């Protein structure tokens, strides 16, 4: 009897905690409201099932509690019940998976005209590369990485000469423009994550992964690493400034291009290194 009551309290308490909890997503700042919707659908389905199962257990504990002389009946098969449970479970699982497949299709389909930038993860800082005047990023190769060329740009690629490399600083992006983010890692697996953008992807050494999003409001957003990547993992923070086009262009103008910085002309930022 006491356990049945505890189960009811767990079900009611869980629902109240969810509804009244002050901890919820940060306000969204990108086009990925669909991702929030799929999570809400999953919350609803798993929430209803959780409450139903826990209350059913409480009901059974009360209804079939021990009484003098009462005996259990043995019923090994119940075709009807098994059909119902199979159908309801199947519909529930499909309802949780199907919206994710639709969103995934959108997530990997980059819109025409999206600008391309690159984010490089490294123990334990973020670096960024933006295309210069030609609007194209040059090629890169990990074998070109050196202290003067931290992202390993190809020095003979004409498209790379005007690329803007931001090492360990802020990333700026114009509001309202779709951006395709290419992701690389120089050492271990990292994962660039800005919670407000709702989009993230692992960056895997030896591969170029990507995601895309459209920033929908201006502001400064904190970036973090969502993949445990060593002792400095918690310090692997960065910030993304979303601003209007003219502010963005003004910022871009001030950044040194690859040719300038490899000739020792741009401001040199020392990489913060952590020791254990
Ligand atoms: Cu990391």
- Ramachandran class of 152: left when φ > 0, alpha when ψ lies in -120 to 50, beta otherwise: left
Nearest to 244 by CA among 198, 187, 175, 142: 175
- Beta bridge partners, 215, equal 30
Residue 209 CA, ligand 1 centroid: distance in Å: 15
The CATH architecture to which 115-262 belongs is Sandwich (2.60)
Q: What is the side-by-side strand order in the sheet with 219-225?
A: 171-174, 237-243, 219-225, 190-193, 200-203
Residue 134 CA, ligand 1 centroid: distance in Å: 31
Residue 233 CA, ligand 1 centroid: distance in Å: 5
Nearest to 8 by CA among 64, 56, 65: 56
- Beta bridge partners, 50, equal none
Residue 13 CA, ligand 1 centroid: distance in Å: 36
Question: Going by DSSP bridges, is the β-strand pair 219-225/179-185 parallel, antiparallel, or unpaired?
Answer: unpaired
pTM for this predicted structure: 0.76
Here the tokens at position 129 are 């590369």
Residue 123 CA, ligand 1 centroid: distance in Å: 6
Residue 227 CA, ligand 1 centroid: distance in Å: 6
Residue 167 CA, ligand 1 centroid: distance in Å: 15
Angle between the N-to-C axes of helices 2-20 and 33-63, in degrees from 0 to 180, rounded to the nearest 10? 160
Q: 121-148 burial, b if ≥16 CB within 10 A, otherwise e?
A: bbbbbbbbbbbbeeeebbebeeebbeee
Q: CA 50, 55, 60, 62: dihedral to nearest 10 degrees?
A: 150
pLDDT in tens, the chain (276 residues): 889 999 999 999 999 998 898 888 899 999 999 999 998 988 898 999 999 999 999 999 999 888 898 888 888 899 999 999 999 999 989 988 998 899 999 999 999 988 899 999 988 889 898 887 777 787 887 887 877 777 788 877 777 777 888 887 889 999 999 999 999 998 899 999 999 999 899 999 988 999 999 999 999 999 999 999 989 999 999 999 999 989 988 888 887 777 766 655 544 444 455 544
Residue 230 CA, ligand 1 centroid: distance in Å: 7
Residue 202 CA, ligand 1 centroid: distance in Å: 9
Residue 127 CA, ligand 1 centroid: distance in Å: 12
Q: How far is CA 58 from the centre of its chain?
A: 38
Domain ranges of the chain: 2-64+80-107, 115-262
pLDDT tens for 30-55 read 999 999 999 898 889 899 999 999 99
- Contact present, 229 and 236 (Cβ < 8 Å): yes
- Contact present, 211 and 107 (Cβ < 8 Å): yes
pLDDT tens for 7-21 read 999 999 999 998 898
Residue 221 CA, ligand 1 centroid: distance in Å: 17
């Amino acid at each position: 009897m006491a356990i049945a009551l505890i189960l009811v309290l767990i079900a009611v308490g869980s629902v109240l905690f969810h509804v009244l909890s002050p901890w919820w997503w940060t306000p969204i700042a990108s086009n990925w409201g669909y991702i929030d919707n799929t999570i809400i659908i999953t919350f609803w389905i798993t929430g209803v099932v959780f409450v139903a199962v826990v209350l059913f257990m409480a009901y059974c504990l009360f209804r079939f509690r021990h009484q003098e002389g009462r005996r259990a009946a043995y019923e090994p098969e119940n075709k009807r019940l098994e059909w119902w449970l199979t159908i309801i479970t199947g519909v529930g699982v499909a309802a949780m998976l199907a919206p994710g497949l639709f969103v995934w299709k959108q997530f990997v389909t980059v819109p025409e005209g999206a600008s391309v930038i690159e984010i490089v993860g490294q123990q334990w800082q973020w670096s960024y590369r933006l295309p210069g005047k030609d609007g194209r990023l040059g090629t890169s190769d990990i074998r070109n990485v050196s202290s003067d060329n931290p992202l390993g740009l190809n020095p003979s690629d004409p498209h790379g000469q005007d690329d803007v490399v931001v090492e360990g600083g802020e990333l700026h992006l114009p509001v309202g423009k779709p951006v395709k983010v290419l992701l690389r890692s120089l050492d271990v697996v990292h994962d660039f994550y800005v919670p407000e953008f709702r989009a993230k992807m692992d960056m895997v050494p030896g591969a170029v992964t990507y995601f895309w999003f459209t920033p929908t409001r201006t502001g400064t957003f904190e970036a973090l690493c969502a993949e445990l990547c060593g002792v400095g993992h918690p310090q692997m923070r960065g910030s993304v400034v979303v601003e209007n086009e003219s502010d963005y262009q003004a910022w871009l103008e001030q950044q040194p291009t690859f040719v300038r910085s490899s000739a020792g002309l741009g401001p040199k930022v020392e990489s913060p290194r952590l020791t254990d």
